[in-house]
Amino acid sequence: MVRVGMGYDVHRLKKGRPLVLGGVSIAHPRGLDGHSDADVLIHAVMDALLGAAGMDDIGHCFPNTDARYKNISSVLLLKEVAKKLKLQKFSINNIDSTLVCEQPKIAPHIPAMKKHIAAALGIPLARVGIKATTNETMGFIGRSEGIAAMCVAALSTSK
Domains and CATH numbers, the chain: 2-156 (3.30.1330.50)
User: Which segments of the chain have a pLDDT < 70?
Assistant: 158-159
Residue 105, judged by CB atoms within 10 A of its CB (0-12, 13-18, 19+), counts as exposed
Among residues 125, 157, 153, 156, the alpha carbon closest in space to that of 43 is found at: 153
Q: Does the reported pTM lie above 0.85?
A: yes
**Which tens digit of pLDDT belongs to each residue from 18-61?**
999 999 999 999 999 999 999 999 999 999 999 999 999 999 99
Predicted local confidence at residue 159, as pLDDT: 62
